[in-house]
Amino acid sequence: MTTLLDQINLPADLRALNKDDLPQVAGELRQFLLDSISTTGGHFASNLGAVELTIALHYVFNTPYDRIVWDVGHQSYPHKVLTGRRDRMGTMRQQNGLAGFPKREESEYDTFGVGHSSTSIGAALGFAEASKLQGENRKAIAIIGDGSMTAGMAFEALNNAGDRDVDLLVILNDNEMSISPNVGALNNYLAKMLSGKFYNGFRNVSGRMLDKVPPLRELAKRSEEQLKGLFTPGLLFEEFGFNYIGPIDGHDIDTLVTTLSNIKKLSGPQFLHVVTKKGQGYKLAVADPVKYHAVTPFTPENGMTGKSGSSKPSFTQVFGEWLCDMAAKDERLVGITPAMREGSGLVKFAEQFPDRYFDVGIAEQHAVTFAGGMACEGVKPVVAIYSTFLQRAYDQLVHDVALQNLPVVFAIDRAGLVGADGPTHAGSFDYSFLRCIPNMAILAPGDENECRQMLYTAFLHDGPTAVRYPRGSGIGATVEPEMTALPWGKGEVRRKGSKVAILSFGTRLGAALHAGDALDATVANMRFVKPLDDALLAELAASHDLIVTVEDNAIMGGAGSAVLESLSAQGIQVDTLLLGLPDSYVEHGEQNKLLADCGLDGAGVEAAIRKKLG
Ligand SMILES: Cc1ncc(C[n+]2csc(CCOP(=O)(O)OP(=O)(O)O)c2C)c(N)n1
Ligand SMILES: CC(=O)[C@@H](O)[C@H](O)COP(=O)(O)O
Ligand SMILES: [Mg+2]
């Protein structure tokens, strides 16, 4: 049977429907998403929560002429279905398939590339100002979640936009969730007002009472606008120069269409507050939106059983275990996360050490500076942060921590290629952007046991130290419960060979050993990217014809560059070959396949060396 959804190839097809058909479209779209995402995996609960809002937006606004900017974009699957990609949803986050986030080169309806949070208001303001300069009559609409609203740059953009005469609509999609439950004063403010019976009660009572006295009704109408500001979350946003509307039910498509149609006629900065349920329409996701934020393939009737996945502990789990063990040994330790409790492995730590656990919201810049402040007082902060998200806190790294040589440990997860999330989430550059910072140390474990020992070594070091490890698990080394400090700045030879010396940094050790066996090459596990083991390098350069470096970081400025700098500084001449990530963005796909495509698996390293040797 042909569904309404089958007839919608582009938003123009949607806009040709009668408004009364939209609830049916919503039901069909929600079922389509459940079937599709339970098959491919990907982001889930946020997409179910955005179904009605997405339909209403494309129904009311003349997309793509009017510009929609999604924040993070993990909730953009409904948008992708309605904008010509329904039949490609089965390729979601697969190599050469659809990206998991809006991507300009994927569709004209994807106005701005996203993946990192809290950029939508700033970008949409850019669209709005450009439209004004070009004499266009576009509407610019940013849809930002309550979690993403906790980042500073969202308020930088609000502050700027509220002072401008532009047609910008900011829609706050408030479901009281980040990945974990949302945190912070803004969240408390929104929740208090939304749950406040007083606000709803006030509107009912005033409506009933004043209807009886017509002359007062007009006065009350005007005063309700003023009073509304006292009882709805709007006051905050009104003070930022926006016209606040809401809160409205983000699943009531009729109200959404009516409200958006009215707002469309208004000029100046508008702020619409919608209330949604993360996982709406799928009971298991509503009950556990944390678990269903992102899913691996599952059967809708049974839900995610958690049976799939590797039996080997992930580096994230190794970190989480270490953090709890270290906290038990040293009461100065605190754990800090910018809204990635689950992803960074702090669930157990948060339960066991609630007073020493800090989720600062999606606020990486604040997380780093906050850690610096704590370190000044003798507290020992461990900042758990994805490599890609640490990019957002670069000045804080330099100015607030390294320049003052403060003992902060950065447990950098998702280093290197991450796979399905693609280039917005790859941790391709941390060696490069950390190495040039004076006082910064960088440790890169070759396996899971080294990860634990390096975290301990970093914790003992009196200065800023990064330990960086990839998404997933490594070669499956047994993790020793004993914590042993590694010799600072020292690498180790893991295999003796001749002619060729392969210097491995981080978890490319497995690939290096494979190539070492095939070529009878020496293999060194360098352990430290900074400080580099210059003496070991000199020794290997003196006894081999070719020095090869292998890393899952950009070659530009990476560990291989450190080796070249050291050889130059030591006045050593030797042939070299640098293997690492290319000076381009590696698209999404399966993590190990992508590494192999970059020549960073065993076969690739071996082939590159054979080619070099001629
Ligand atoms: C700068 C940055 N930090 C962290 C993340 C990881 N992240 C992705 S979605 C998300 C929660 C977003 O919450 P919200 O905006 O409320 O969207 P919801 O999932 O509730 O729809 C987080 C923390 C990110 N994408 N970007
Ligand atoms: C959208 C977002 O940024 C997060 O959900 C991210 O996708 C999590 O990545 P991991 O799955 O590697 O934890
Ligand atoms: Mg949310």
The finding on whether 276 has its CB within 6 A of some atom of ligand 1 is no
pLDDT of residue 201: 45
What is the reported pLDDT for 308? 56
Closest ligand 2 atom to residue 179 Cα is 5
Show binding-site residues for Mg(2+).
146, 175
| Cis ω before 354 (30° cut-off from 0) | no
- For residue 338, which ligand has an atom nearest its CA? 1
Instruction: Tell me, using a 6 A CB cutoff, whether residue 419 lines ligand 1.
Output: no
Nearest to 141 by CA among 117, 173, 116, 115: 173
Cβ(470)–Cβ(507) below 8 Å: yes
Q: Ligand 3 mean position to 355 CA, how many Å?
A: 25
If we measure between CA atoms, which residue out of 353, 351, 348 comes closest to residue 334? Answer: 353
Helix (H, G, I), strand (E, B) or coil at 523: strand
SS3 call for 384: strand
Is residue 490 within 8 Å of residue 529, measured between CB atoms?
no
Kindly list the catalytic residues.
278, 364, 392
Phi first, then psi: what are they for 233, rounded to 5°?
-65, -5
Render 219-232 in DSSP notation, one character per residue: HHHHHHHHHHHHHS
- What is the distance, to the nearest Å, from the Cα of residue 134 to the centroid of all Cα atoms in its chain? 33
Give buried/exposed letters for 375-393 (b at 16+ CB in 10 A, else e). Answer: beeebbbbbbbbbbbbbbb
Top mutation candidate among 119, 144, 179, 389 for ligand 1, by most atoms within 8 Å of CB: 179
Find out whether the beta carbon of 365 lies less than 6 Å from any atom of ligand 1. Answer: no
537 Cβ closer than 6 Å to some ligand 1 atom? no
**Which amino acid residue places its CA nearest to atom 13 of ligand 2?**
343
pTM of the complete model:
0.95
Type and span of the H or E element at 468: strand 465-468
DSSP label of 520 = T
Give the phi and the psi of residue 40 in degrees, each rounded to 5.
-90, -25
Task: State residue 224's pLDDT score.
Answer: 57
Q: What pLDDT shows up at residue 106?
A: 98
Write b or e for each residue in 561-596: b if 16 or more Cβ atoms lie within 10 A of its Cβ, otherwise e.
Answer: bbbeebbeeeeeebebbbbbbeeeebebbebeebbe
Ligand with minimal distance to 361 CA: 1
Q: Is 411 helix (H, G, I), strand (E, B) or coil?
A: strand
ipTM here: 0.99
Ligand 2 contact via 72 beta carbon (within 6 Å): yes
Taking alpha carbons only, the member of 320, 369, 314, 325 closest to residue 340 is 320
How many angstroms is it from 614 CA to the middle of ligand 3? 56
The finding on whether 93 has its CB within 6 A of some atom of ligand 2 is: no
Helix (H, G, I), strand (E, B) or coil at 235: helix
- Give the residue among 21, 22, 28 at the shortest CA–CA distance from 5: 28
Angle at 210 between CA 204 and CA 216, to 5 degrees: 145
pLDDT of residue 198: 40
Could you say which residues of the chain have pLDDT below 70? 196-233, 307-310
d(CA 161, CA 154) in angstroms, rounded, equals 10
DSSP string computed for 264-328: HT--S-EEEEEE--TTTT-HHHHH-TTTTSEE-S-BTTTB--S--S-SSPPHHHHHHHHHHHHHH
Distance 248 CA to ligand 3 centre (A): 15
Q: Which residue has the tokens 């049976």?
A: 307
CB of 72 within 6 A of ligand 1: the answer is yes
Closest CA to ligand 1's atom 22: 179
Exposure letters 405-417 (e unless 16+ CB within 10 A, then b): ebbbbbbbbbbbb
Ligand 1 mutation pick, 362, 383, 387, 390, max ligand atoms within 8 A of CB: 362
Output the six-digit token pair for 15.
């806009």
Strand order in the sheet with 67-70: 67-70, 140-145, 168-174, 270-275, 243-249
What whole-number distance in Å separates Cα of residue 537 and Cα of residue 527? 13
d(CA 508, CA 598) in angstroms, rounded, equals 12
Q: How far apart are alpha carbons 55 and 251 in whole angstroms?
A: 10
Give the Å distance between the CA of 429 and the centre of ligand 3. Answer: 29
Task: Give residue 148 CA to ligand 3 midpoint distance, Å.
Answer: 7
Residue ranges for the binding site? 74, 115-117, 146-148, 175, 282, 364
Nearest to 70 by CA among 115, 9, 127, 137: 115
Q: Is 177 in the pocket of ligand 1 (CB under 6 A)?
A: yes
Burial of 307 (0-12, 13-18, 19+ CB in 10 A): exposed
Instruction: Identify the pLDDT of residue 165.
Output: 96
CA atoms within 13 A on the CB side of 104: 6
Q: Is 116 in the pocket of ligand 2 (CB under 6 A)?
A: no
- Give me Rg for the CA atoms of the chain: 27
| Euclidean distance between CA atoms 387 and 414, whole angstroms | 6
Is 358 within 8 Å of 337 (Cβ atoms)?
yes
The count of residues in the chain is 614
36: CA distance to ligand 1 center in Å? 22
- The pick from 425, 471, 590, 591 for probing ligand 2's pocket by mutation, whose C-beta has the most ligand atoms within 8 angstroms, reads 425
Amino acid 73: pLDDT? 98
**Sign of the dihedral defined by the CA atoms of residues 572, 574, 578, 579, in that order:** negative
